Amino acid sequence: MDAKPPILIAEDEFMLTMLLEHILNRNGFNDLHFVKTGDDAVTKAKEVNPSLILMDIFLEGSIDGIDAVQEIRNFNMAPVIYITGNSDYLTKSRAMDTGPSSYIVKPIDPEELMELVQEKLKNSNGDS
């Protein structure tokens, strides 16, 4: 399969957005959709039906990344990789309750990110 699935990226830090785009492009992912707010993430998820979501927890706007994923879960069960600078227990627990999801803490390790991306996409497609 040559075509890579669509990925939604919700991140409000420009430099991290550029880094994520570079890492994913370098690994053959070009169907990338970027937003900066939780509300925009919900809207864009309805538009593109992503196969994977990379979600910052603390976003600009009226809802955070976890609330955005909870809304997205009403119509899309794509795996989520939360990317955040906050690793406290309550935030992590709240994020993991939105399942299926993973959680990585900034700064991002490109290899760790790509391992998670590949694993989540493989598992969501039902491959073994």
Query: What per-residue confidence (pLDDT) applies to 126?
Result: 55
As for how many domains the chain has, the answer is 1
In CATH, what number is assigned to the domain containing residue 19?
3.40.50.2300
- Longest alpha-carbon distance in the chain: 40
- pLDDT, one tens digit per residue, over 38-71 is 999 999 999 999 999 999 999 999 999 999 999 9
Per-residue pLDDT of 3-33, as tens digits, reads 799 999 999 999 999 999 999 999 999 999 9
For residues 74 and 77, what is the distance between their CA atoms, to the nearest angstrom? 8
Please check whether residue 73 lies inside any domain of the structure: yes
pLDDT at 2: 60
pLDDT, tens digit, 9 for 90 and up, residues 81-112:
999 887 788 888 889 888 878 989 989 999 99
Instruction: Evaluate whether residue 61 is within a structural domain.
Output: yes
How far from 5 is each of 11, 30, 31, 92, 98, CA to CA, in Å?
Answer: 19, 9, 7, 27, 21
* 116 within domain boundaries: no
Domain that holds residue 15: 7-109
- CA 39, 63, 56, 99 torsion-angle sign: negative
Sequence-distant (6+) residues with CB within 8 A of 44 are 8, 33, 35
Q: Does some domain include residue 121? A: no
Please tell me which residue, 83 or 2, carries the higher pLDDT value. Answer: 83
